[in-house]
Structures are given as C-alpha cells and as structure tokens.
Amino acid sequence: MNKYKSYIVFILIDTVIILSSVAASHFLLHGTVSNQFAIETLLVFLLFWLTTISFFHTFRLYHRIWRYASTGEIISITKATSLSMFFVYFLQFLWNQTGIDVPIHHSMFPLTWMMIILGVFGSRFLGRIIQENQRKIRMNRKRTLIIGAGNAGVLVARELKNSIDTPLYPVAFVDDDLNKLNMRVWGIPVVGTKKDIISIVRQYQIEIIVVAIPSAPSSEIAEVINICKKTKAAIKILPRIGDIINGKICINMIRDVKVEDLLGRPPIEIDLQEIAGYVTGKIVLITGAGGSIGSEICRQISRFSPHQLLLLGHGENSIYSIEHDLKRQFPQISFKSIIADIQDKKRIDNVFNLWRPHVVFHAAAHKHVPLMENNPAEAVKNNIFGTKNVAECSHRFGVERFVLISTDKAVNPTSVMGTTKRVAEMIIQDLNQKSNTKFTAVRFGNVLGSRGSVIPLFKQQIKAGGPVTVTHPEMTRYFMTIPEAVQLVIQAGALAAGGEIFILDMGQPVRISDLARDLITLSGLEPEKDIKIEYTGIRPGEKLYEEILTSEEGSIASKHQLIYVAKPAKSREVDLPSSLNKLERVILQEESCEIANDIKSLLKQLVPAYQPQSGGCSKSE
C-alpha cells in the first residue's frame, strides 16, 4: 500500500513540475499567452505531460528509493527528460507536416528541458533531506507506547508528534475500549488492550511507556504499572486529572512513575470546611517544623490563612529553609521562626508565654529505630519528656487543640523508639482527662520520601550501582505519602473531641523487598541482574511487620471514611507520674550499659507490651 501511495505522490509532483515548466517557458518567451496558444493549451500540456511521464516510467524513476539516490539517478532524469523533449519535437514535426498546427516555439524545448530536470531533481533532493531529517529525529527519539487513547492520551500524542524537542516518539496506543481497536488517532494505531502490553512492547520495540489515564482509579493505574513493570521499557505517567488545567497537557507534565503510584489506594481527601474552622485566624505552633512531616504541615496549614504560624525547631538550617519557602509561597501570612529544644522546659515555657498559640502540632521526635536503640536516653529525653514539656505548656496556657504525630511502631513495640512514642500517647491521653485542651494523637506507618524512609536509601544504592540492602525478604510495612500523612494529621485535629488516637486506613502492607524491586525496575534496570538485592538481617528494635492497634484497642469509624479511632483503655497497673519520675532520674545519670538496660526496664513497666529484642549492650554497639 505504501509503495502505490509513493508512486501516486511522485506522479502528482512531476505533473505540477512539467505543466509549470511548459507554462513558464512560454511566458518567458512571449510575455503572455496568445489567443492561438490558449485554444491549443490543453493539447500542448497533455502532450508534454504524457510524453515525459511515460519516459520517466520507462526509466523506472518511480521505482527507486530516493534516500539512496546518487549520480545514476541524475543521469536517468536527464536521459528521460531529453528523450521526452525529442519525442515531443518529433511529434510536432509530424503534425505540422499533416497540416495540424501545434504552437510550440523551438526555444521552448531547451527551457522546458532545463526546468523539468531542475524541478524533478530538486523535488527528489528536497524529499531526501526531509526523509533524512525525519529519520534522524526518530532515531534520536525513543519509541513510545501510550496507555489510554482517551482525551488525555490524544493530547499526549499530539504534543509528542508536534514537538521535535521531546525524546519521546509515539508509535502505538493501548486502550481497553474495544471500539477503538485497530483505529488510528493522530496517525497512531490502537494495537491492543492492557493485557497485550507485554507482547506489544516486544513487537513494536517500545522503549518508553506513558500511562495517560489520569482519571482512572488508583487501583487501575497500579494494575497497569505492574503489567508494564514486566517489560524492559521505562515507565512514565501523566499526573492525575486534578493537576491538569483546562485540558491542556504539556510535555513537562509527563513524569517518572513513583513508588506511591503503585500503592493502589486512592489518596486521602480532607474536609476543607472543618479544617478552616479551627486554624483560620489562629496562632498555630508546629514543632519539628523543619522536618519532612513538620514542613508539610506548615505548607498545608498556610493554605487556610492562620493569623500567625510559629515554626519551632532545633536545627537552624532546616527552619531557615522552610521559613524562606513559606514566605515565598504565602507572603500574606505572618511567620515566626523559633530555634528551641523541646527538652528545654524553661525555653518551651517562655515560647508559650510569649506567643500564646491556639493550636499545636507536635511533630518533633527522634524516629530512627536502630539509632534510638543504641541511644535510649536520647529517645526518652526527646520523645517522652520533650512531648511532656510541650503538652503541659499547652495545658497551662490554654491551647485549644494539641495533635501528636505518632507511629504504628508504638503498637506492641519491640524498639525503644516505638515504646517512647507509645508513652507519649499515654501522656497526652492522661493530660486530656484534666485539661480543657483537646489532646489527640495520629498514628500512621512509614512515609514515602521522608528523611528516614528507605526510599532515599534505595535510590542512593541504585545510583551507586548496588547492591540494594533489605533486612529480611518477608519484612512488611504500611506506607503512605507525606501529603496523605499531613492531611490525616490536620483532619484529625478537626475531628478531635479529646483523647483519641486516629489511624489511617493505609490499605495492605507492602513487602520491603517488593519495594526495592519496584524502585530498581522503575529506574530502568533489572533486579538481580543489573542491581543485586542483599538481605542483611533484622536490625535491633525492628520487627517483621507493623500493627496499627494494640491487643487492648478496638477501632471505630470516624466521620471520614479512611480514618478510624482507637480508644485504648487506661491501664490501671501503671502509675504514670511515678514511673516518669523514675525514668527522669535514670536518664540524668552518666550513660552506661547498665543505665541503658535500666531505661528499657522502666519502659517495660510503662508499656507492658514492649518486648526488647536485645538483653544488654556492649561498647561495640
């Protein structure tokens, strides 16, 4: 089919060249078209066209691949044109002898001959240049499969085809709508459904897959990406439909697939009206404001026009960074940066006395499990007594709401870090019994992209060529994105009546080994072949899987479909003030292995579910 199409195109081009050459020659010789010539125009044009096209066909000029043209093709064009001129001249001579007057001036022949040769050769040479440029462009661009032939996919295809700067070149569509199968969109065929992706990638030598179904549910997108992962093609994705403004898609919107795209769980959405009611026009204090969670809380709270945002943190660089970022994004809001250590009771008291916050989000904490296992006194000072300082100040200075950022590691803990966070939960629940402040905690799993997450570590290891280190092949964790975690925190503050522990429905837990494989694959590499995975063994304080509820807790639904409330019964066996006093005396002593073991013993008394994994310490730790 392409052969006949090319044949017809060349004949049409040559027809225009031949007729234009004849007309131009006559005009150059006579300056106008005579009445006599006008009457015989059809015969003259037909004679030149039919003769020249016939000789071109005889010399097989329409059966050549002009991309590989050489001097032989130039000679053939010259011969064919010369013979056609002689043949027309001969026919004119015969017709003149028989009394038929064909008005062709002798000087027309060399002019027409020259114009036809230049025109035909120029058209072929120009076509060759265009073909070569197209071939180079395609060679330098990666063959791309677009998943989804809907509105978004069509816009992507159009942008990719119209832009020569993008490294992507679309060659095929995949769509589950059978009515679109074997149809063409922007000249690109719809060649199959998602179940055919693997074979299509092989058949069409696909290098890049673009998932262009932004309105599809998260579960469907995750399913498609999981199929694409079985190929060797790199995977990119279009952002969700809410991020696409006025249906306009630009090439820069197409991004690499992230691990969160594979979670298969719809993102949590918050009730903006409820949130606006308790932070709008209020003074809001965020501790740990320079951290991954704290800084995101600052950004999201700023959207609801607080009267003032107090950014409290111990690290000056991180506080400076978030303050600079917020001032740029929200110039209308008043920000106050406060460098303070939550362990410093007097300093925290002064902060509350000076600024009188209405709402407190307590995100400051030591979170690294193995580090806190080797430094239990620091975990206790920061996570327990730092929380106690901030919570007690919130009570004394009449804070309306206090939200503690907790963790699923606080449930049946096996680590010092998890146990200290569980004690922090107990402290605010105890204070809630005697305070007008609404104290609440938010418990969630690992946060993708945070500083303590495994994702940055895996990415560094992949960039270095491996190996990627995983502690155990069966280790699982709950995962959520930073925005999801923060939205839960803010929503919990709106739902809080006091004393609750809010839990997000995080879907199914994810195996860390699968996460490592996904990151390797999404980097365009093959697990175990390009990047090795090594299992290093469970570290101190870690367990194979995390839980979200203790054995004493039950969960009830909240106003939000993805948030549940855990209400643990107050333990009658634990005298919280007395136990905290003992713990405080112990951590003030000089650090030693004996003191570390004493700390763990006291933590065990506070949280009977705590199961320490190591019986002691050594200087080698």
Taking the C-alpha atoms of residue 18 and residue 61, their distance in angstroms, rounded to an integer, is 15
222 to 32, 216, 456, 478, 583: CA distances (angstroms): 72, 10, 21, 16, 47
Q: Give the total residue count for the chain.
A: 621
Active site residue 367: no
In sequence order, what are the beta bridge partners of 285?
Answer: 310, 360
Please check whether residue 104 is in contact with residue 37, taking contact to mean a CB–CB distance below 8 angstroms.
no
| HSE, side-chain direction, 13 A CA sphere, residue 208 | 20
Closest CA to 238 of 140, 162, 151: 151
Is the preceding peptide bond at 467 cis, omega within 30 degrees of 0?
Answer: yes
Residues 6+ apart with CB under 8 A from 508: none
Give the three-class secondary structure for 615. coil
Q: Hey, what are 438's tokens?
A: 């609404």
Please check whether residue 383 is in contact with residue 522, taking contact to mean a CB–CB distance below 8 angstroms.
no
Residues 6+ apart with CB under 8 A from 442: 403, 404, 405, 406, 488, 489, 492, 501, 502
Beta-carbon count within 10 A of 96 CB: 12
205 to 185, 190, 197, 447, 530: CA distances (angstroms): 20, 16, 12, 37, 20
- 429-450 b/e with 16+ CB inside 10 Å = b? bbbbeebebbbbbbbbbbbbeb
Question: What HEC string does 225-289 produce?
Answer: HHHHCCCCCEEEECCCHHHCCCCCCCHHHCEECCHHHHCCCCCCCCCHHHHHHHHCCCEEEEECC
- Residue by residue, DSSP assigns 56-117 as HHHTTTTSS-GGG--HHHHHHHHHHHHHHHHHHHHHHHHHHHTT------TTHHHHHHHHHH
Radius of gyration for the chain, computed over Cα atoms and rounded to the nearest angstrom: 38
Q: Hey, what are 114's tokens?
A: 């020259």
Q: Find the farthest-apart pair of alpha carbons in the chain and give their distance in angstroms, rounded.
A: 132
Q: Give start and end residues of each alpha helix (H) in 474-592.
A: 482-495, 512-522, 576-587
Please pick, among 409, 421, 543, 600, the residue that the annotation labels catalytic: 409
Angle 393-398-403 from CA coordinates, rounded to 5°: 70
Taking the C-alpha atoms of residue 495 and residue 499, their distance in angstroms, rounded to an integer, is 11
Catalytic residues: 409
